[in-house]
Structure 1
Amino acid sequence: MTQHIVTSSIRASVAAVPKVSIVVPIFKTEKYLDRCLTSILHQSFSDFEVLCIDDKSPDESWKIVEDFARRDARVRLIRHEQNLGLGGARNTGIRAAKAPYVMGVDSDDYIHPKMVEDLYACAVKTGADVVECGYAEVDEQGAELSIYAPRRDPMEIRDTSNIFSITRFAFWNKLYRRGLFWDENVWFPNKLYYEDLATVPRILARSSLIAYVGDVRYHYVQRSGSITNLINEKSILDYIKILDILLQDLNETGKIELQRQHFRETIKINFDFIKRKIVQSDDLYKMNLLRYASFMEKAYLDFGESDNSILVGIEQRIAALPECDQAPGEAIARVQTSSPERHADIAIISMYGPEETITRLKIGAFKRHLAGRMSFAAFEGPDTKADCILLNHLDSLEGREGEVLAFKKKNLAVPIIALISDFYPRVPIQMRKFYKIVNVFVVPTVEMRDVMACFTQTDVVVMADPIDFCFDRSFVKKHVAKKPLDVMWFGFRESFEKSMREYSPLLEHYHSIRRIRYHIITNTADFSGPSDAILHEYRAESFSKMLPMFDVCVLSHTPNDFQISTYIKSENKAVLAINRGVPVVASKTPSYSRLLGSLNLSNYLYTTRDELEAALFELECPVRRNEYLSQSQKAVLQEFSPQSVAEEWSKLVARYRPPNR
C-alpha cells in the first residue's frame, strides 16, 4: 500500500496511543466535509484520532482537511496517489490506526456528539469485539427519513449464529476491535460497490461478542449520486463478486454447511434490494437490468429456482413502461434467405492473423466440411465484397466501427454476425455501442442467449460451441483395472481458484492415499493450486492428444466473477473429454445437466463433495468407465460432429445472406 500513499506534512502532535481511531474516506465530498469533521471534533469524548484518507479526490477536499489539521492535532491527512475506492481507503485508515478500537464515518455523513463516548463505553463495559449503534437516514438538509435503532442485549457469536442478520451490514455505525482486521487478515475489497457486505459478515464470523447502543448516534445522508443509489451493470456484477468473497470465506473457514441457508437468504434479500433500486432508477434500460439481476440471482442460488415473488410485484408496477432493449435508433432489417446450397463469401473481422482467426472462430476443425459452400477471407474495409461479415467477438470492432458502418451503408443487405463465446462484463456495453452494426449474435448456450437478450432486440442464436472437439470419429479406448486412476481437471487458473477450490481437497485426499493421481492442466505460471497435484502446462495444439492418457475428467463450474458466471458456459469441455475416451464427472450447471441428462448419465453430476466422491467411486470400476463411453460417445459424436456443425453454419448464413448476390 505504501507506494500508493502520500502522508501530509502537516502532522501536529497527538497522544501516542489514543483510545479510538476514526477513519474518514474522502472522494468528491468537498460540499459535506466541513459538517462531517466538525461533528467528529465536537464529541463529548476526546481521546481519539481522525484519519482522513484522500482517495485521489479530484476536488479540494484535502485543503479542508489540512485546515482542520492546523487547528486540531487529532486530525491526520493521508493522500492516495491512485484511487483505490471506498474499501481501499478504509483499509489505509485501519492500517494507519494507532488505537485498539477503530470506527468509520463516511465523509458525506455526520455523527451525534455522544457517538464515540457511548460506543467506547459499551465496548469497555461488555468486552464486545463489535458495538453497533442506531442510525437515522436523513436528506441533505438533515430531515429524518427513517430510523434504525434496535435495543438488544449483548449477543454471543457462535459458529451457528446467523452472521448475516445479527446486525446491519454498514461499516460506519459500529466500533471494532482493531485486531479483528489485522490478526484475522480481513480487509475491504478495493474498487467494489457494497464493500461493507463483503467485510462486516467476515468480521462478525471472527468475533465472540457483539453489543448494541440502542440510540441514534449516526446520521446517514441520502444523496442521489451516492454509490448506494447507483444501479448499472457494474453494480450487479459487483454483487456477484461480493458474494464470491463471502462464499470463498465460508469454504475456507469450514463454515459453509453451518451458514448455507443463512447465506442463501442473504442472496435473496440483497437481490430484492437491487431490484427495487432498479425500479426506482431513471435508467432507460431498467427492464433489461431487472431481467439481468434476476438471471444472476438464479445463477447464484445453487443453479436452482429463486423466489421471484418480489420480481412479479415489480414487473406489475412497471408494466406500463415501454421496452428499452436497445437504444433509440433506426432498426436493422433482417435479411431472409434463399437456398442454403449457394456458395457464400465470408469476410472475417478479427484482431488476429488469418489462421489463428479461423481457430478462434471455432470453425477451423470443420472448415473442410464447408468446402464448396463457403470461403473465408479477411475484411478489407468498405469496399470488401462479401455475402456475410463474421466478427470474432465484439472486441474486434473496437476502433473499426467507422469502416464497418461505411461498408453497411454500401451493402445494406449484407448481414454482420458476431460470435460471442464468453460473456465478459464489457459485453453489455459493447452490445449497446454496436447495436447499429450487428444483425445477429451467435452464442453457445440458451443461458447465454437469455442473459444477452436483456441488452438487445437483435437476434441471438444458439449454436453448439465446436472449440477443440470437432473430430470425425471418437477415440476408441478400452479402460482396464488400474490403481491409482489418473484423474484430471483442466481450465483457467482463475477458474481453479474460484470454482474448483471447494472440491480440490477431496481429490488431494484421494491423491494422498493413492486412490488417484491428481492432474491439473492449466496455465501454470503463478499457479497457486495444490502442491501435491501433478501440473501440466495447457497447450491447445497438443491438448486433444494428451487427453486419452487420463481415466476420468472432473469439471467444476460455479458462479464467479471471472466471466460473470460460468453458469452460462457451454458443455464443450465435457464433449471433448468424452470424444477422447475420458468419462466426465461435472458440476450441475445447466449445460452439463442437459448433456449428461440426455445421455442418462445424470448420476455423474454433483453439487456437493459427497456426490463427487460417489461418482468417483463408481468410475473406479473399469466396467463402469467402458459403459459410460459406450453410452455416450456415439450420441455425442452425432450431435457435435463437424458435419452437423457445418450444416448449422450453412443454414445460419443462408438465413441472413442477401438473396441475389
Structure 2
Amino acid sequence: MEERRPFISVVMPVYNVEKHLKKAVDSVLKQTYTDFEIILVDDCSPDGCPQLCEELAASDERIMAVHHNENKGLSMARNTGMTYASGKYIWFMDSDDFVEDSLFAMVFDSVKENPAELILFGLTEDYYDEKDRLHHSEVICPKREIYENKEELRRKVIDLEKQTLYGYAWNKMYDLDYLNKIGLQFEKITLIEDILFNVNFCMHIRKMNVLPFCGYHYNKRMDNSLTSKFVSDYYKLHRKRIDLIYKQYQKWGMCESGVKSVLGALYVRYIFSAIQRNCDKRAEMSHKGRRKWVRTLLKEPLLKELLPYAKSDGKLLAVMIGVLKTGCVSGILLLGRVIFICKNSLPMIFSVLKQKR
C-alpha cells in the first residue's frame, strides 16, 4: 500500500537564526490548511539552532530535524531537504522569515482549479535597522492569474522578473514529482542560486498559478543580510543573471523588444550597484581602476544589445539609464559615487528611495 503524502513539504535551511527560527516555524504551524511536513536542515549552525531544531521536532510529528556535520551552505541545505521531502509540492522557506496563515489554503484551492507545476505568490519586504527594529515595509502583490499553457506562461515570466518575483525560491511552490523527474538541484553559487534554479525549472513547464498573496514576510536586516555585505563578484554574478533570462527567452523564440526593455533596465540597475560597490575600500580599486572597469563595461556585447531598449518609469533608474547611454565615463562614475555615499550614509532612507526607482 502506497504511503500517504502530505500536500506540502516545507524545507527550511537553518544557520545562525536562533532568534528567529521559532517564529518562522510557528507561522507555518498556524496555517489554516494543515496537510504539510516541515524539514529543518541544520547546516552545522554555531548557535543554539541544533538543539532548537530537535525541540521543535519533538513538539510536533509533522516536523523533522536533519543535521549536517559541517557547514555546506544554503544550496546544499536545500538539496538535503529535498531528499527527505515527500509532499506533492515543495517549498523552500527561509528560517528568519515568517508567513501569514492563509498561504497554504490559497495554494491548495488554486491547485484544485489548475494543477500547475509552479505556484507563485508575492511578499512583504520588512526592513529592520541595526537594532533589529522594523523601519518600513514594501508590499509586492501580483494579480491572480492562472496559466494553462506554456505560451501564456512564458510571456508572463519577464513581468515577474520586473516585479522582482521571478528570482526568489521562497515565493514559489514547486511540483516535487516534476522536480525529481528533471533532476534539478540548487547549485552552490553566491547570490544567484535562486534565479539559476528557477530558469532551469521553468524552461519546459506548462502550467503556473500566480496568487495575490503578499503575506510572506521577507526580513531584510542591516546587521546580517547577505545583500548588505561585500561580494567581490557582484557584477559578474548579476551579468550572468541577465544573460540567463535573455538566453531563456531566445530559446523560447520570444526575445522581443519588451523583453529587452525590461532586461536592459535591470542590467543598468545592477551596473550602478556594482559601480558603487567598486567605491568600497574592500574592492581595493583605485579611481583609475574604476575608469578602466567602466570603459571595459561599455564594450560588453550584452550591454550593447540591451541598453538601447532600456526604459524605466522610476526617476532614479531613468537617470541611471540616461547617464549610461551617454557613454561618459566621468558622469557614470560620478553617479556611482553619489549612490555609494547615499547608501552608506543613510542606508534606510536609501532603501526607501530605491523602491521608488
For normalisation by structure 2, the TM-score amounts to 0.72
Q: Is 1:161 equivalent to 2:155 in the alignment?
A: yes
Give 1:95's aligned residue: 83
d(CA) in 1 for partners of 2:82 and 2:291?
38
Helix, strand or coil: the match of 2:145? coil
Structure 2 runs not aligned, ≥5 long: 308-320, 325-330, 342-357
User: Which residue identity is paired with 1:81?
Assistant: N
Q: Are 1:255 and 2:243 matched, yes or no?
A: no
Question: Which of 42, 65, 77 is the equivalent residue of 2:65?
Answer: 77
Partner of 2:229: 230
Query: Which is worse superposed, 127-136 or 301-310?
Result: 301-310
Structure 1 residue 124, shift from structure 2 partner:
2.3
Counterpart position of 1:22: 10
Deviation at 1:314, TM superposition (A): 7.0
Query: Residue 290 of structure 1: CA displacement?
Result: 6.9
Q: Is the 8 A contact 2:275 2:336 kept in 1?
A: no
| Aligned equivalent of 2:345 | none
1:490-529 to structure 2, matched below 5 A, reads none
- The separation in 2 between residues aligned to 1:320 and 1:20, in whole angstroms, is 42
2-side partners of 1:242 and 1:181: how far apart? 21
Question: CA separation in 2, counterparts of 1:39 and 1:52?
Answer: 14
Greater helix share, 1 or 2? 2
Residue 656 of structure 1 is matched in structure 2 by: none
1:152 aligns with one of 144, 147, 158: 144
Instruction: Name the aligned partner's letter for residue 82 of structure 1.
Output: E
Q: Residues 20, 59 of structure 1: CA spacing in aligned structure 2 closer, same or farther, 3 A cutoff?
A: same
Q: CA 1:300/1:91 → structure 2, altered by over 3 Å: closer, same or farther?
A: farther
Paired residue for 1:515?
Answer: none
TM-superposition CA deviations, 1:528-578 (whole Å, max 9, x none) = xxxxxxxxxxxxxxxxxxxxxxxxxxxxxxxxxxxxxxxxxxxxxxxxxxx
Which letter maps to 1:147?
A: V
CA distance in 1, matches of 2:339, 2:28: 47
CA distance in 1, matches of 2:155, 2:10: 28
**1:130–1:151 CA distance, 2 compared to 1 (3 A):** same
Q: Distance in 1 between matches of 2:203 and 2:56?
A: 37
1:318 pairs with 322, 326, 337, which one?
337
Q: Deviations 1:92-122 (Å, cap 9, x if unpaired)?
A: 2223210011112101110001112212221
Deviation at 1:222, TM superposition (A): 0.8
The whole-number CA distance in structure 1 between the counterparts of 2:64 and 2:293 is: 41
Match of residue 101 from structure 2 = 113
Query: After superposition, what is the alpha-carbon deviation per residue over 1:111-170, rounded to whole angstroms, capped at 9, x for unaligned?
Result: 001112212221222222212222111134455421000213213432863634335121
Rounded Cα–Cα distance in structure 1 between residues aligned with 2:243 and 2:70: 25
- The Cα of 1:264 is off from its aligned counterpart by 8.4
> Do residues 276 (structure 1) and 273 (structure 2) align?
yes
Tell me, yes or no, if the aligned pair for 1:24 and 1:50 is still in contact at 8 Å: yes
- Cα 1:137/1:184, change in 2 over 3 Å: same
Q: How many angstroms does 1:200 deviate by? A: 1.4
Task: Tell me the C-alpha RMSD between the 2 structures.
Answer: 3.6
Query: Corresponding residue for 2:238?
Result: 239
- Whether the 8 Å CA contact 1:231–1:281 is kept in 2: the answer is no
Asked if the contact 1:135–1:217 (Cα under 8 Å) also holds between the matched residues in 2, the reply is: yes
Partner secondary structure for residue 215 of structure 2: strand
Looking at CA atoms only, which structure, 1 or 2, has the larger radius of gyration? 1
Q: Which moved more, 1:286-295 or 1:62-71?
A: 286-295
**Which position in structure 1 is the counterpart of 2:176?**
178
Structure 1 residues 354-393: Cα deviation after superposition (integer angstroms, max 9, x where no partner): xxxxxxxxxxxxxxxxxxxxxxxxxxxxxxxxxxxxxxxx
CA distance in 2, matches of 1:157, 1:90: 27
* Counterpart among 185, 188, 192 of residue 187 in structure 1: 185
Q: Percent identity?
A: 21
- The amino acid across from 2:276 in the alignment is V
Distance in 1, matches of 2:213 and 2:323, equals 32
Unaligned runs of 5+ in 1: 1-14, 323-661
Change (3 A) 1:65 1:122: same
Give deviations 1:241-268, integer Å, cap 9, x for gaps. Answer: 5567667x849xx816544874785365
Q: Compared with structure 1, are the counterparts of its residues 320 and 58 closer, same or farther at alpha carbon in structure 2 (3 Å cutoff)?
A: closer
Closer, same or farther in 2 for the Cα pair 1:171/1:265, shift >3 Å?
A: same
For residues 389-538 of structure 1, what are the structure 2 equivalents within 5 Å?
none
With a CA cutoff of 8 Å and minimum separation of 6, indicate the structure with the bigger relative contact order.
2
Cα offset, 1:236, TM superposition: 3.0
Residue 31 of structure 1, aligned match among 16, 19, 29:
19
The 2-side partners of 1:256 and 1:310 are apart by 32
Q: Is the 8 A contact 2:42 2:53 kept in 1?
A: no
- Alpha carbons 1:195, 1:242 under 8 Å: kept: no
CA distance in 2 between partners of 1:211 and 1:152 (Å)? 8
AA aligned to 2:157 is: I
State TM-score, norm by structure 1: 0.41
Offset of residue 230 of structure 1: 2.7
Structure 2 counterpart of 1:124: 112
Counterpart amino acid of 2:272? K
CA distance in 2, matches of 1:72, 1:24: 15
Change (3 A) 1:209 1:299: farther
Q: Which amino acid aligns with 1:275?
A: F
d(CA) in 1 for partners of 2:63, 2:232: 38
Letter in 2 for 1:233: S
